[in-house]
Amino acid sequence: MGTNYEKIAAAIDFVSQNARQQPELNAIAAAVNTSPFHFQRLFTEWAGVSPKKFLQYLTVEHAKELLANKQHTVFDTAYQTGLSGTGRLHDLFVNIEGMTPGEYRNGGENLVIQYSIQQCRFGWYIVAATGKGICNLSFFESPSATAIAALKSHWPNASVRAGENGHQQKAIDFFKDNGGHAGDLKLHLRATAFQLKIWQALLQIPLGDVVSYGSIAQHVSQPAAARAVGTAIGSNPVGYIIPCHRVIKSMGEAGGYRWGGTRKKAMLAWEASRHVVALPVR
């Protein structure tokens, strides 16, 4: 899965850099040192659709169409269609619990945090959890001590150790099921009240949809705080599950992403290609 993602990421980069030339399958395959036949099969297995169809979802024009659909706001639609607010393929429920003020201030003192290194269709990731829920999920390029060091720096006073608990296993199962059913996911986050408010808003963006940074600011009744909203989105500690990748620039460009612009494009296009009507909530 990880190797496949690296090939897909390289293909996305190539197409993004050569979008005006509209490269054909042979050119894309050659750019990633793969035969056209093998690349077509690998890509279809990863994305569920052909490279040509998938690449349509990468365009700025497609993003603009999503942003221009003002018949219903995506936040209203999430509830009108019976979604739990997460916009997943199935009935995934996410519950966020903030740290106590004391835990927030002391950097996790007296907390035990377990972490493990995993792979999913979007590459390598590290997932960490306390006894109450997932506290970090970060993507990285290849296994190294850097990811572990970054986790420990975020929790300077916690006891951070390798291992898995039930919360992590639910996240791992979620990715193994292609972003499908994983039951109730609980998050235990070190954040300000404002950050939690923004992250809860992100959970209301349905799969296959996108919103602008300004839309998030308006949704939380902070239209003049676009910069603060952007900072809160960028500091999201739980990749993909809190879908900050679904927030893009108002002109349709993907914009930056904490774990790489190419990965963000891959997530958005994969979700668009997998977009189905979600099952009703329980």
Are residues 252 and 64 in contact, defined by beta-carbon separation less than 8 angstroms? yes
Task: Give pLDDT tens digits for 202-220.
Answer: 988 888 888 888 888 888 8
**238 pLDDT higher than 90:** yes
Cβ atoms within 10 Å of 3's Cβ, excluding its own: 10
54 within 8 A of 43, measured Cβ to Cβ: yes
Residue 253 to residue 264: CA distance in whole angstroms: 11
C-alpha to C-alpha distances, 239 to 49, 50, 210, nearest whole angstrom: 24, 26, 16
State residue 182's pLDDT score. Answer: 54
Flag whether pLDDT at 277 surpasses 60. Answer: no
pLDDT at 281 over 50: no
Q: Give CA separation, 229 vs 75, 194, 214, in Å.
A: 16, 9, 9
In 177-234, which residue ranges form alpha helices assigned H by DSSP? Answer: 193-202, 213-219, 226-234
User: Does residue 151 contact residue 142 with C-beta atoms inside 8 Å?
Assistant: no
Specify whether 244 is catalytic. Answer: yes
Whether the predicted pLDDT of 265 surpasses 70: yes
Model pLDDT, residue 27:
92
Burial 198-223 (b: 16+ CB within 10 A, else e): bbebbbbbbbbbbbbbebbbbbbebe
pLDDT, tens digit (0-9, with 9 covering 90-100), for 31-75 = 999 999 999 998 888 888 888 888 778 777 777 777 776 544 555
Confidence of residue 98 (pLDDT cuts 50, 70, 90): confident
pLDDT at site 130: 94
| Strand 247-248 relative to strand 134-140, pairing | unpaired
Between CA 124 and CA 235 the distance in angstroms is: 19
What pLDDT is stored for residue 76 in this prediction?
A: 56
The pLDDT mean for the chain works out to 82
Catalytic residue among 210, 244, 254, 268: 244
Tell me which of 177 and 137 has the higher pLDDT.
137
pLDDT band for 198, please (50, 70, 90 cuts): very high
CB 129 within 8 A of CB 110: no
